[in-house]
Structure 1
Amino acid sequence: MLPGQADEGLCHKCNGLDFFTIFGPEARCGIIAPIAIRDAIANEHICVFCKFLVTIGRKIIDRPFYVTERNGVDMKFLFERRWKAPVRDALGSIVSGGGSLSVRIWPAPSPFDSAARIEFYLCPMWLDEDKGWHSLSTRFVLENEIDLSLCRRWLMDCEGTHATACREVLHFSSDLPPDFRVVDVQDECIVSPPAGCRYVALSYVWGQIETLCLTQEDLEWFECPGVLDKHALANAKTILDAMSIVSKMGERYLWVDRLCIIQDSPTKAAQLRAMDVIYGAALLTLVAADGPDANAGLRGITPGSRSLPQHTEVINDDLALTVSCPAPTDLRLSAWSSRGWTCQEQLLSRKFLIFSGGQVMWQCGSCFLCEDTEGSNKAGPLTRLEQVEIDVDVPKAINPGAVFFQPTHLFRPKIFTQYASIVRGFTKRHLTYQDDVLPAFQGFGSILERSFNCKFIAGLPEAYLDQALLWLPAVMQKRRTTSAQDCPSWSWAGWIGESRYDDTEDDNRERVVPVIKWHVIERSSILKQANGTGIGLQESNFGLPRTLNTFLWIPLFDLLSGRIHSTPSIHHTTDTGPYLHFWTSCAFFRITLRPSPPDQNNASKNPPLRALINSASGPYAGHVVLNGSGPTELVPGRHEFVVVSEAQLTGYDAVRSMYRASERCEMWNVLLVEWDERGGAERVGAGRVSKRAWSAAGPVVKFVELG
């Protein structure tokens, strides 16, 4: 035995570690003493654990330990024990959970490393009586290819043992759309699915490439067995790999838009509207997160297409330690995560097999697993894909005794909070073709329409129109133009760039009171009242009885215009896009640009322009957030502020860009509009103005056609 060496190839210090306790559930295992790196280097020739730490440490920092102290402080391996309750499969075997050991190098070896947390995770594998290695949450991986039998086992475990939430469809669903088809990976052709068909869906980036796709002319040809095998060279590499995955997992049917939707068929629009059903009803969704287009393929499916070394060391007769493999590139930085179409595919799916960086990950409601271990055992930016489950709740509502001018209390329903989150996530993404913005949102729209119990107008819920109009740009946006002219300026869909809604207060009160009677025109010359009443909030759409507010409410500016109960006439010929028509109060103010305050939720280097609204009645009348790069100076007769609702707010703190809540309506919610030569208006910003300053500006009541 060498000097300083203990039994079983460990130094005296490491021999005192109780690895069974460290990696087990026993609560008595407290703080694990750190090991100085200079001591580990001195003992690496006599201690397998010290040698393992030093070897992995050198790989992590990608160089030898030239120094073992920083600024007089000894560099150490710091340990933190992790434990997660195990999850067992149908046979009682533990498939996830258990213990792991976080190892951190501190302080950093050089100033260049200081910004990063230099860390790796050690996971245990035990030798049982049958001389086979087993683990609570660790697996050996194949270095050159993905073991798809593991993916199949993940699916079987989820179906057999996980909570009901993993097995049920999480969203409202109906029958699959007409002409629904799937790829039969066994017969290599396109088929109409049999009753009760289990199918896997594919989510990937199309890119601007020409590959095999389904058309009306080729439909009969695509239905011939073996046709996809004969024309494999014309098929996208990602789709071919997906077919192989489905087959090796023991499934038969795959849904992929390029081959299952007839691209030139009149039924295509109906299928696009049914993305919530298609992805929500799928057995699971394959996510192809790598590459810019459909020919990128899935690394790790073909033998030799990846290299994933797994570093393992046998510590003693019955314990081996393995280092969790490097985490794949952060999915939030992938091309897949940036595309508009994949947003709904992600949020509406129930379970995922995520292929990224030559690795595969499993995500469901109960687990997030990598090939070698739990996702939580990765030392890197590895986060779950966000999913949405639409909840229907009956909101606290308008005071049943509210009439006429008495302010009412409006509380935000949970469904609108979920809608706001979806809008923000969706508008962060990019679309190759701007005409796709509303079709790519329609998967959400189908669910949300049922939840709001109303139709959507250009992406906004008609039943919650007063609040939906108050979206704000989170970045400096650019006006979106589409061939159908169906994206008006008053909708977030009419602008390119991230949009958001203000959060409510702790009591969930909106602080918005309706004063406008809304008329809508879409693709015809016939005006209709929003919600059937013209009120921007329709109580009955949320399962509530209509209150006196519905029957006795009088729109303020219709009354002031002398046009109460009369249908407005269209002042000029409109385009085909949606227009809002309403009587409102209009006023002109000067503005002063000011820097945007930091937004913790948005680290964009392209923040929106903000401006203070100047007033003769006080230092600041309020503020406005501009959608695009201007106007930076307002011109009388061309620009004007228009009221869209009352705000139960008072005062404006120009330093903090904040308002104070009020029980009275002391401010107006306003849009900044620009008039065109025909007398129509377009939104160019949104904000709030105090009523005192508004009255001092000499406002006038006008009929507005907002497009």
Structure 2
Amino acid sequence: MSTSRPVPASSDKIAAFKSRIKTLGRLPFKIKDLPPTPTESYLCDFCAKLDLRVESFVVQPGDNEHERENRFRWLGKLSYIQQRLHCPLCRLVLSTADRPLDQRNPSHIADEDPAVYARWVVDGQEEEPHPAREGSSVFRPRTRRILIYSDPQTFKDGYLVLLGDDAPSRPYFGRMLTTQGQLDAAMLKQWLKSCETLHGPECDVSLVPAALLAKRIGIFRAIDVDQMCIVEPPEDARFIALSYLWGRNFAQLFTTSENLARLSTPGALAKEKLPRTIKDTILLTRMLGEKYLWTDSLALIHDPGFQYHDDWVYARASLTVAAALAKMPMQACQESAKSQEHSIKMLKRSYLG
């Protein structure tokens, strides 16, 4: 049985293949390269037919959400949408498509002009007693949002949501950031307070196995954000936990038996070159009025034979901060993923599907 040998590729073919790989998931334009927004702003024929209204984003009694989610609307080729800049909804779709490469999840098919679609998906759900089974509960959909996606998947899926200020009620709807790129610490504090004081026993039931909530074993350390050093908090102390990526080929500070005494000196961490992710979370901890921050690189002793155990920490934390977009620890939590602002003044009476 003969087997064919691979045919050597020419340098031109290799270069062309590399070029194709590099362009997968990239768009033929960027929002900043498009012409300026026209002075006149009105819906295009495609978007006008969607007939969106405020009530469209609220699930009404008797609505069949399963049947609705299986329906979709074709918005046109991406190049067509690019030409309809007078349409505020098309501009929102373009802002969804134009995002950094590390925030995309493209297919393996290179297509610079994919078809773009929209369909409804359930957003907020509310728990209520089951009508037929006593002691059981059921989740009822209350709100919906619009999923924007392409075929083939040239850009990562995006969502269009109704702002709470325009909705019949604020829960489950979106909100505008009061300060560009900054967290609203007062709102976070209110959320924590509401959860701890108003939600009752339902929020006290942990999703973590009881064994992980038992009394801690060994020494627990954390950063004292006021003294800027490693300390051993009291047994019942509240603390915030940070979850982030260490990254590769990056030299950052780790606590060891050799430097523990030095890092436990008040002010020691203020003199160190800490990753921006940790520095930002230290600032957030202070803004929330908390004293202790746990982060694995500094709260654990990284000696030879070190074993990583953090389940107990995340189970007990008052709040866990996840640096979900940061690929490296030097990325800041405060940076905004997009510098462009896009608004939609009014979508006339509408309905999608």
Contact 2:223/2:294, CA 8 A, preserved across alignment: yes
Q: Deviations over 1:57-110 (max 9, x none)?
A: 445566xxxxxxxxxxxx99755333344459xxxxxxx9622123556xxxxx
CA 1:187–1:82: 2 relative to 1, 3 Å: same
Aligned counterpart for 1:286 among listed residues 292, 317, 321: 321
Specify every segment of 5 or more residues in structure 1 that has no aligned partner in the other structure, as ranges. Answer: 1-7, 63-74, 89-95, 106-112, 321-707
Contact 2:326/2:333, CA 8 A, preserved across alignment: no
Instruction: Give the structure 1 partner of residue 152 of structure 2.
Output: 114
Aligned AA for 2:295?
V
Q: How many angstroms apart in 1 are the aligned matches of 2:207 and 2:229?
A: 27
Q: Deviations over 1:163-215 (max 9, x none)?
A: 73665361213322333222111221222211311122233427555444434
Relative to its length, the structure with more strand (as a share) is: 1
Aligned counterpart for 1:147 among listed residues 180, 183, 187: 183
Instruction: Give the structure 1 partner of residue 135 of structure 2.
Output: none
Please state whether the residue corresponding to 1:315 is helix, strand or coil. Answer: coil
Instruction: Give the structure 1 partner of residue 284 of structure 2.
Output: 245
Q: Deviations over 1:95-127 (max 9, x none)?
A: x9622123556xxxxxxx535588643211265
Pairs within 5 Å for 1:177-188: 177-188=217-228
Contact 1:200/1:284, CA 8 A, preserved across alignment: yes
Aligned counterpart for 1:297 among listed residues 305, 321, 330: 330
Aligned AA for 2:263?
F
Please state whether the residue corresponding to 2:60 is helix, strand or coil. Answer: coil
Instruction: Give the structure 2 partner of residue 68 of structure 1.
Output: none
Q: How many angstroms apart in 1 are the aligned matches of 2:172 and 2:315?
A: 31
Please state whether the residue corresponding to 2:298 is helix, strand or coil. Answer: helix
Specify every segment of 5 or more residues in structure 2 that has no aligned partner in the other structure, as ranges. Answer: 1-40, 99-113, 128-140
Q: How many angstroms apart in 1 are the aligned matches of 2:76 and 2:247?
A: 49
Q: How many angstroms apart in 1 are the aligned matches of 2:256 and 2:299?
A: 10
Instruction: Give the structure 1 partner of residue 162 of structure 2.
Output: 124
Q: Deviations over 1:354-402 (max 9, x none)?
A: xxxxxxxxxxxxxxxxxxxxxxxxxxxxxxxxxxxxxxxxxxxxxxxxx
Contact 2:225/2:293, CA 8 A, preserved across alignment: yes
Q: Which has the larger radius of gyration?
A: 1
Contact 2:148/2:159, CA 8 A, preserved across alignment: yes
Instruction: Give the structure 1 partner of residue 208 of structure 2.
Output: 170
CA 1:310–1:249: 2 relative to 1, 3 Å: farther
Contact 1:33/1:78, CA 8 A, preserved across alignment: yes
Contact 1:213/1:258, CA 8 A, preserved across alignment: yes
Aligned AA for 2:345?
V
Q: How many angstroms apart in 2 are the aligned matches of 1:281 and 1:205?
A: 22
Instruction: Give the structure 2 partner of residue 315 of structure 1.
Output: 346
Aligned counterpart for 1:189 among listed residues 218, 226, 229: 229
Q: How many angstroms apart in 2 are the aligned matches of 1:36 and 1:288?
A: 34
Instruction: Give the structure 2 partner of residue 26 of structure 1.
Output: 60
Contact 2:164/2:170, CA 8 A, preserved across alignment: yes
CA 1:77–1:242: 2 relative to 1, 3 Å: closer
CA 1:166–1:53: 2 relative to 1, 3 Å: farther
Aligned AA for 2:143?
G
Aligned AA for 1:190?
I
Q: Deviations over 1:472-522 (max 9, x none)?
A: xxxxxxxxxxxxxxxxxxxxxxxxxxxxxxxxxxxxxxxxxxxxxxxxxxx
Contact 2:256/2:302, CA 8 A, preserved across alignment: yes
Q: C-alpha displacement at 1:9, in angstroms? A: 6.4
Please state whether the residue corresponding to 1:299 is helix, strand or coil. Answer: coil
Aligned AA for 1:54?
C
Contact 1:241/1:298, CA 8 A, preserved across alignment: no
- State the TM-score, normalizing by the size of structure 2: 0.56
The answer to whether structure 1 residue 83 and structure 2 residue 83 are counterparts is no
Aligned counterpart for 2:90 among listed residues 35, 42, 54: 54
CA RMSD of aligned residues (A): 4.8
Q: Could you say which structure has the greater relative contact order, defined with CA pairs below 8 angstroms and 6 or more residues apart?
A: 2
Instruction: Give the structure 1 partner of residue 265 of structure 2.
Output: 224
Q: How many angstroms apart in 1 are the aligned matches of 2:157 and 2:326?
A: 28
Instruction: Give the structure 1 partner of residue 298 of structure 2.
Output: 259
Aligned AA for 2:340?
P
CA 1:163–1:9: 2 relative to 1, 3 Å: farther
Contact 2:239/2:292, CA 8 A, preserved across alignment: yes
Percent same amino acid at aligned positions?
A: 21
